[in-house]
Every structure is written in C-alpha cells, then in structure tokens.
Chains A and B, each alone.
Chain A
Amino acid sequence: MFVSNRLNLLIAGLSFVLILNGCSFSDSSGSISDSIGSISDSSSSFSGGSAKYESDVEDYTYAYLKSTSGTTNYADFQSGLSDIAKKRGISDWESDAHTYKGIGKALKKARIEGVSYETYKKNFGESDATKMKQIQQGYDSQD
C-alpha cells in the first residue's frame, strides 16, 4: 500500500511538472531557424513582399532609436538592416526605396523632429538626395 501511495504521488508530481513545462523549444541551429522554412511550405520570407520588408525596417529602426542613447553607431545599425534584407531576399538594400521609407516612418513614430530629424535623415541617407527624399516620404506618410 505504501509503495502504491508513493507511486501515485510520483505520477501526480510528474504530471504536475509536465503540465507546468509549457513553452516550446526553439531550433538550436541558427541557420536553420533563419532559413525560409521547409521545402514544402510557402516561403514566408516573400509573403507580403516589399510592404512586409518596409514594416520590418520601420520596427527595427524604431527599436534601435529607442534603445540607443547618444551617438548612433551606423555600421552596427546597417549590419542589422542587412540581416533583415537578407531574410527577404534583398542583397542591395541601399537601392531599395522601401529601406529608406521604413526608416522615415520610424523617425516619425519615434517623434523625432526639427534639427534632430534633419541630422538623422542626413546620416541615415548618407547625404544622398534620393535616399533623403525617400526618408522624407516615409516620414510624411505617417499621421
């Protein structure tokens, strides 16, 4: 009887721990989790196309602006942009207008205005007239 009670307790305890043990495990391999998925499924990397890419750039830039105090490290920022573009099948993100529109939207969302905005626009756009215009377009497109 004693053994049976202990066994019941063990099973109940084990069940409790297993029930608690929620949470999926993430893929251990970075490259596989970064890949566009199984050979069978629709490639989510491309779903939503440019709009999704622009939205990712906006969210990433906004988070970057929010978590960076003082001077912005542009190489570090650009490295992150490359990672986002890479997942969407874009290698030359500097020639993609959606990159700079996304940055413009993030600047607006972060409520950056005046001289500060102009400085960011110039730096993110590398003083290039086309890129700065695209940043402005993104900025103006937000309410």
Chain B
Amino acid sequence: MKRFLTLLAVLLGNTANADTFQYLYIEANEGSASGGHVAVQFGEDVFHYQFKDGLIRLFKQDAEGFRFDYRVLQNRTLHVADVDVSAATFNVLQDHFKLLFWQQDRQFKQLQAAKKDGYLLEWLLRSHTALPSSRQITDKSLMLPGAGLFFNDSDFASVSQLTEPHGDCQTKAPAKSILTTLRAQLALQYGSGFLQRRKVELTTAIQHLSAATNGTKDYRLSERYTDLLNGLLALRVIEEARPLTSDACHTLTGPAGHLDPQKTERLNNLQQQLMQSAQNLAVSKRPDWGYALLVTISRLVALQQTLQSGQWVFVDDFSADSTVIAAEDMKRFADELGVQRKKAETVWQQQWQSLGNTELDEQHYSQLEVTANRYHEWLVSNNRQTLRYQGEQALPVKAINLPTITLPEFSSQQLQQALHQQALDTQQLTQQLQQNFAYHLLTRNCVTEIFHTINQALGAETQQRLGAVIDEHLNIVPFTAFAMVQAGYPVKHITVLPSHRQQQLAKQYEQEFPPLVYARESNIVSASLYDYNPDDAWFVFFTDDALLLRPVFGAINSVAGVGQSLFGLVKSPFDEGQLLATGMRGLLMSLPELAFINMRKGSYKFLSPDSASPENLPGQ
C-alpha cells in the first residue's frame, strides 16, 4: 500500500507525460563482477560504471549488446526494475548520465594525449643521439593510423630490420587509374602544383611546431605531429599513385557478389562521392584530415578494383591487435563457430543483394566492408586454421611506426623542457582523475556511483521525483541495492531474465523427466548445455540451482580449484603462471559456495544470438 501511494504521489507530482527507465541488477559469476553488477538503461543506452586501471569509469553501451554480453556470454541472470518517472525526470537523468560520460571521456583522452606527448618527446630526444635504427619502433599510441594501408615500415627503414607483410592485395592498375584522376581533379580545382605546395606547407608546419603546450586541454604536440605526418603521407600516395600494401585488401572470389548494372551504378555513384570527399579533405582545416584522406583513397582504390574486375575487393578493417582464435579452439568450439560462420555468410549475402535498393553512402559502405571482412575471415580461416574474431573497425586503421621523413626542429634543451612540462601535465591530469574516479571497494564502486549520479542529477528534488533518496554511502552491494530500488523508487514492474543456461534448463525440464535432467545437467561432465570454456576456472558442479547441495558441490569445486592450482604450479615456468592464477581464482570463487553463496555458473565464449534460443535473444 505504501509503495502504491509512493508511486501515485510521484506520478501525480510530476507532469502528465510518464516515462520509464530501467535499473538492472546482474547476478554474480566467476570473473569480473564476481559480486554482481548494476546498470541503468535509458531507451537504447545502458550506462554502467566499470573498473579500469584502478579507476571507476562510466561506460555507455548499446542495450542489446549489453544484455547479450551479460545474460548469454557471461551466463548471468538479469533483474530489471522498470522505474516509472515523469518525462521531465527521465530527461534530466538521461542528460546527466550522457553529460558525465562525455565529460569523463574527454578527461581520459586528455591524459592519453599528455602521455602520448611524453612518448613523442622521448622518441625525438633519442633521434638527436641514437642511430636511426633505434628510432624505428615507437609506442603503440604513436603509430600513424591509416598510413599502413599504403606504406610498410620497411619503406622507411632497411628491410633487414623489419619483416615484409605478405598478402595477395594487388592494386597497381586501379590505384594508378583512380589516383591519377584524383590528382588531375585536384589540379583543376586548386591549381597545378597544388600537391607540391601543400606538401611544402605541411613540412614547414612540422619543422616549426612548438614544443610548448598551452595547458592540459590543448590540441597537443603529438597529435599535431602525427596528424601533419599523416597528411603528408596521404598527399604522397596521391602524387605517386601508390597502390595498397600487399596485405591491406582482399578479394571475395566465387559466384557470390555478382555485380549487376544496378549495383554497378550504385558503386559508381559512391565512387563519385568519395572523389569529392577526397578533394574536400585535401584542403580541410580539421586536424586529422590526413587519416580521413588515407581511408577515403584506400576505399577509392578498392572500389576501382571492384569495378574493373567485377569481383568484390575490400580494404582489410581488422586492427593489428585483433583477438585471434587458435586452431585448438577452432576445433573445440566447431559447433558454435559453425553457426557464426553461417550467419556471416547470410548477412553478407543479404547486404550485397539489397545493394541495388538504396543509394549507398559512406556509412552504408563501411557496414558492407565490415560484413565482407567478417565473411572473408571465415573463408580464409579454412586454410589458416586461425580466425581473427574481435577487433574489426568501422574505419580501417592499419598503422605504421613513426617514419623519420620530417622532424620538428627542436633543440635538446627545448625537448628537455617540454618533457618536464609534459610530466607535470600528466601528473596533474592523473591526480584529477584519481581524485574524481579512484575505485574503492566500499566507498566508490559501480553501485555507489550509479546512486551518486542519480542523486547528483536530481539534487534536492530526488525525493520528490523518485520517491526516495538512496544513500550512495550506505548502499554498496549490488544485491541489496536492488532491493533498495524496489522498496524506494516507483518501480512498476520487475522482470527476471534468466541466464542462458537457466533458460535452456527450464525448457529441458518441460520436455524431459526432471530428475534425469537435473542429474545430467548438474555437472560439467555429463551436461549437454555446457562445453568447458577455458576462460572458466575448473569446476565440477553448477551451484546456481542447487541450494541445499551447494556446500557439498562447493567443496568438490574447491578441490577442483586446488587441483588446477597445483597443475598450474607445475606448468608455471611455461605459461607465466596463468593456469596457476586461474586455479586460484577458481578456488576463491568456490569457497563462498560452502556458505551457500552461489558463484559458479559457467560462461559461454562463442555463442551467437543465433545459437541462443529466440527467447534468449538480447532485448527479449
């Protein structure tokens, strides 16, 4: 009755337009968020605080992806509270979360940029004293994104120092044809000698870069330098009509992807658009126009090759540090991966077939490129026995180390001074972040920060708008915080979304003899719903549906953890203690089960929405 009156008061007290946001509680499991997790959802966006590098950071994630990740892959049950609020309250809360997300994002980028300055300054300082060979390898953050589409590191160093990439990307003829046309158009639009003039302009700008920074929020030296260098290289590609590097593109051979006249027309139109973009970018004032130009001309070359050959050619869009599935896992998870392969093929076919229906813009082409890359990756995995699984980019980023073609004219003294200032800036930014976002188990975690943000957004009106003020200092545990939300906020409805395994189990209970299902699915040896995932520490029994037997199962799981730890100890000289750490984690996660607290649920590494049941799809 009290809750009903609170709900009524909140709704009547606000405007007539009501809206709903969701408070999500995610149950515990092994691994990250072992004690559970919380999040809030506004429309399609989920906001949640995650631990990263000792700090607690706000993340914004697509709701569909978030639910799939936690509910299916991490196999956790989700509890969703629909909180009814006025439209005005909804907007205030949503806007505040968004504002904090973007402000925080910017602060972290400022720190990243300051650190990047440090790497550059040290690199430049080395270049004053060291041999050219020692300059070649730079920090990852200093690499030139996009430049690797047309250049190899070996183009700027002796081949003996670096390995040449291998691939079957042959684009000499299309590059010559399309980039010569672009060169002519640039000359027509901006006058003959444009490329030369622009190159001189950029070289001079690099040479006269200032080492001094104007505060921590500035567009920093390392960004200026890498942006200018990328511009210089992009112009060089056009000037030399340079082809893509041998591993920068791939061809989808075979009957799939036939280009009919309508599709050809769409691609011709897109090519015209990209030609115009390339011309605009060559004189753009945006700082990173060089990278954008490299991407645009790489796609122009790939498109030209496609149109000339009648077979799809796409730029490779995987990043260098993509997650790779090893041959062993390819075999072990053959069923799950088979479903994904089929899906990749279907999506690719659907996309290119529907190509003639709508006009193709750059964003659509990016999507087509990603889909084609996925499908192609599956095709080549047959021979390679490995698969790049994660790391695709919506825009290609193939990078190279910093080339020493043009250097800023800094003296050693200027560099030392700049390095000193950079250290101060980094220290200041780090301290600010530590002060505002340092993680603390009891006082600043993902639960406290959600309530802190809500209370901060609504201020003195929190009680009036939400019916309660949930104290962030007193509510620090995901499980109990959810109960507080239920009791205090105007919750209209609670939905429990069972984890993937629980949902599949419920179906089996309906269709088969329940005791048999229980006996079979209670352990990993006979379970039909779980194949051992190497990311999970060893365990024998699932304990999420075994309340009474939990301590017994927990004891056996603990023994499994001890066993893995001992095995890991023996293996530690060969795997840097990885197995030992996993075993210890398993033991740690099994001990609470002795006290009737469930942790071990297992997780799924390669399930796709298609292999999960329809009801289990994200958003259901």
Contact = CB atoms under 8 A, between A and B. Distances in A.
B453 to A, nearest CB: 14
B296 A39 contact: no
B165 interface: no
B445 A11 contact: no
B102 interface: yes
Contact of A63 (B28, B99, B296): B99
B37 interface: yes
B370 A36 contact: yes
A76 B343 contact: no
A3 interface: no
Interface in B562-620: 588-589, 591-592, 594-595, 597, 599, 606, 608-609
Contacts of A91: 277, 291-292, 295-296, 362, 395
B102 A59 contact: yes
A60 B99 CA distance: 8
A47 B64 contact: yes
A79 interface: yes
Contacts, number: 236
B110 to A, nearest CB: 9
Nearest to B55: A26
A79 B366 contact: no
Secondary structure at the B interface, as helix, strand, loop or mixed, is: mixed
A89 B276 contact: no
A118 B94 CA distance: 28
A22 B477 contact: yes
A22 B286 contact: no
B36 interface: yes
Interface residues of B, number: 95
Given A35-B393, A67-B106, A80-B109, A40 B367 contact: no
Interface in B365-414: 365-367, 369-371, 374, 377-378, 387-395, 397
Contacts of A73: 217-219
B350 to A, nearest CB: 12
Contacts of A95: 276-277, 280
Contacts of B1: none
B33 A23 contact: yes
Interface of B: 28, 32-38, 44, 48-53, 56-57, 59, 62, 64-65, 68, 98-99, 101-103, 106, 109, 217-219, 223, 276-277, 280-281, 284-288, 291-292, 295-296, 319, 321-323, 340, 343-344, 362-363, 365-367, 369-371, 374, 377-378, 387-395, 397, 439, 441-442, 445-447, 476-479, 588-589, 591-592, 594-595, 597, 599, 606, 608-609
